[in-house]
Structure 1
Amino acid sequence: MAPRVSVVIPVYNVGKQLETCLQSVVGQTFTDLEIVVVNDGSTDDSPQIVARFARQDPRIVIIDRPNEGVAYARKRGVEAARGEYIQYLDGDDFLEPDAIELLYRKAVDEQADMVVLPFWLESENRKKASNPTPGTYDSVSFFYSLAFCRNYWAVWSFLHKRSLYARVHVEKGLSYGEDAYLTAQLTCFARKIVVLESHPLLHYIIHSGSATLGNFSEKKARDIELYPQLQRRFYADKPTYPQVEKALANVELGAIVLLLSKRWFGEARRLALRAQEIEKQFPGLLHQRPARHYRRLLKAYARSEFMGKLMARYYLLTRKIK
């Protein structure tokens, strides 16, 4: 008999944190689950730790793969999963003991395709609760909530039906923005999305080498520009495209300001001119999140490279860009 929930855990060189992660899953109060661990070509002791846990818990399924990146590791995990619902968990994060029980109960009670969870953002010297905006959503309204920063793109921040993957595409090589691309697709196919109002259920651990804090690179910059285009391409032939077009434009604006926040000034004028085109099509977007704090910088670069550089210096001096 198939389990009700599959917890899919991509693992790549997280030996120091992996035991805490796995212990948090095998110790869940909800026991009708399988634990699909995808070893994404780890070169540390992660495979040995997983094997030790698997000897003690028959619910653990191990998939060993050459390194393909987290997006493809998740894909391999979903392909192997048998549960009605999927919950992702990164190998260096962990769950509260009642997380799956509360999420599954909410999904069944509400007959929901996705249940959004509150979580902790944790670094070495900071711990912050990130609570999603309460409500019941359809696919369009939830996409808007994501595009306008009222909810989170993180694909591990919701329990969701495995059946949503019937027509999902994974872009090989996309390593920054892969969550936003996958979440956009899952959202499109979901009929009902609900938010679970509870204590934070997942601990997302931010390390100095993570994608959010690691050194910025040409590859990351190209990925940031790519994922809004992938979203738009995906939605282009969907019936809801006219309804989400403004939200898609705001996602692209978000990618532009993210590049500027990373001091990606070499192409700032091109980005600013694109932002100007978006503002002409959808007036007022530059005054909304996430672009509003960068509105003056974008307008300066749209006027000229010289004006943009002066404004960029001001943003750096006043620590609007850190």
Structure 2
Amino acid sequence: MISICIATYNGEKYLEEQLASILPQMTASDELIISDDGSKDETMTIINRYAAQDERIKFFKGPGKGVIANFEFAINQSQGDFIFLADQDDVWLPEKVQTTLSFFASNPKIDLVISDLVIVDEQLQVIEPSYFEYRKVALGFLHNIVKNKYIGAGMAFRGSLKSRILPIPAKVPMHDMWIGLIAAYKNKSALIPQTLTLYRRHNNNASEINTKASFFQQLKWRCAISYVLFKRIFFNS
């Protein structure tokens, strides 16, 4: 069984296209967790319509505290052996789920994977054919504290990792950075080189490809996440 977690907020423009790319890849026993953070557009109308037709969709009212808390809440509801994170505005390629599950089956010691993505514009026209190449993505605990490359839109992990991930500390820069580093600490993460997601960039994305934060803000983030990682790893292990 897999759980796919989507954190929505004012996603009416692209949500249907994402749902249409995900649902055909799910089996009857899988679940699609949608946590909405108080959308003011037609997002809820779309969710309700799909949920009425597909019992695999489980809708929850999110905590209303932003994208990190919304994803944390969605993950907390999940029951799957494998958990996939999904952005509301992307498109999954048809082989994403099966390719990811096959990788996990062939690599039983790996807890978390990140598959490559094609960076596209609003009309799904290619901007960069490989997120990995564009961002020079590499594994490594210290490497990704200094310059994070972990991306939730390409991320999936074993359900057994939930107990180490949750709760997500309030001061981390992003949920995907935290989750990736938790797995990376024990060398339990891996990269899938296939591009399995169309990663859509537009004016209202919740995250940035290249941060606009100042050096001092980034340094503050790194210090904060290093502190909470130290506490979680050494006191909760």
Q: Shorter-chain TM-score category?
A: 0.7 to 0.9
Match of 1:49 in 2: 46
Q: Does the Cα contact within 8 Å between 1:116 and 1:132 map onto a contact in 2?
A: no
Higher share of residues assigned helix: 1
What TM-score comes out, normalization by structure 2 length?
Answer: 0.81
Q: Aligned pair 1:224/2:236, yes or no?
A: no
After TM superposition, give the deviation of residue 32 of structure 1 in Å: 4.5
Mean Cα deviation higher: 90-99 or 229-238: 229-238
Equivalent-residue separation in structure 1 for 2:171 and 2:225 (angstroms):
16
The superposition leaves residues 164-187 of structure 1 with CA deviations (integer Å, 9 ceiling, x where unpaired) of: 12133423376x544323322243
Give the alignment's Cα RMSD to 1 decimal.
Answer: 3.0
- Which position in structure 2 is the counterpart of 1:203? 198
* 1:78 aligned to which of 75, 79, 82: 75
Structure 1 residues 1-322: aligned runs within 5 Å: 4-28=1-25, 32-111=29-108, 112-124=110-122, 126-130=126-130, 132=132, 142-144=140-142, 146-147=144-145, 152-168=149-165, 169-172=167-170, 176-188=173-185, 191-198=187-194, 200-210=195-205, 211-212=207-208, 224-236=218-230, 238=233
Would the aligned equivalents of 1:36 and 1:77 in 2 still touch at CA under 8 Å? yes
* Amino acid paired to 2:105: V
Q: Output one character per residue of 1:141-184: Cα deviation in whole Å (capped at 9) or x when no partner.
A: 632453576x831123221112212133423376x544323322
User: Counting strand residues as a fraction of each chain, which structure ranks higher?
Assistant: 2
For structure 1, which runs of at least 5 residues remain unmatched after alignment?
Answer: 134-140, 240-322
Distance 1:131 1:77, change over 3 A: same
TM-score, normalised by the number of residues in structure 1: 0.61
Instruction: Structure 2: state its 5+ residue gaps.
Output: 134-138
Supply the AA of the counterpart residue of 1:43: K
Counterpart contact for 1:78–1:162, Cα < 8 Å: no
User: Residues 180 and 227 of structure 1 are in contact (CA less than 8 Å); yes or no, is this contact kept in structure 2?
Assistant: no
Q: Secondary structure at the match of 1:152?
A: coil
Q: Does 1 or 2 have the higher relative contact order (CA < 8 Å, sep 6+)?
A: 2
Q: Is the 8 A contact 1:8 1:77 kept in 2?
A: yes
Distance 1:130 1:227, change over 3 A: farther
SS in 2 for 1:97: coil
Percent identity of equivalent pairs: 20
Deviation at 1:75, TM superposition (A): 0.9
Counterpart secondary structure, 1:117: strand
How far off is 1:214 after superposition? 11
Residue identity in the other structure for 1:185? I
Which residue of structure 1 aligns with residue 136 of structure 2? none
Cα deviation, residue 209, structure 1? 2.9
Q: Tell me how far apart the structure 2 counterparts of residues 209 and 215 of structure 1 sit (CA, whole Å).
A: 14
1:8–1:74: 8 Å Cα contact kept in structure 2? yes
Number of residue pairs aligned between Structure 1 and Structure 2? 223
Deviations 1:41-88 (A, max 9, x none): 111110110111111111100001242111111111111100011110
DSSP-derived class of the 2:14 partner: helix
Sort the Cα spacing of 1:80 and 1:61 in 2 relative to 1 into closer, same or farther, 3 A: same
What residue in structure 2 maps to residue 282 of structure 1? none
Shift of 1:204: 1.3
Structure-2 separation of matches of 1:223 and 1:193: 27
1:76-111 CA-partner distances (Å, limit 9, x unpaired): 111110001111001111211110111011101211
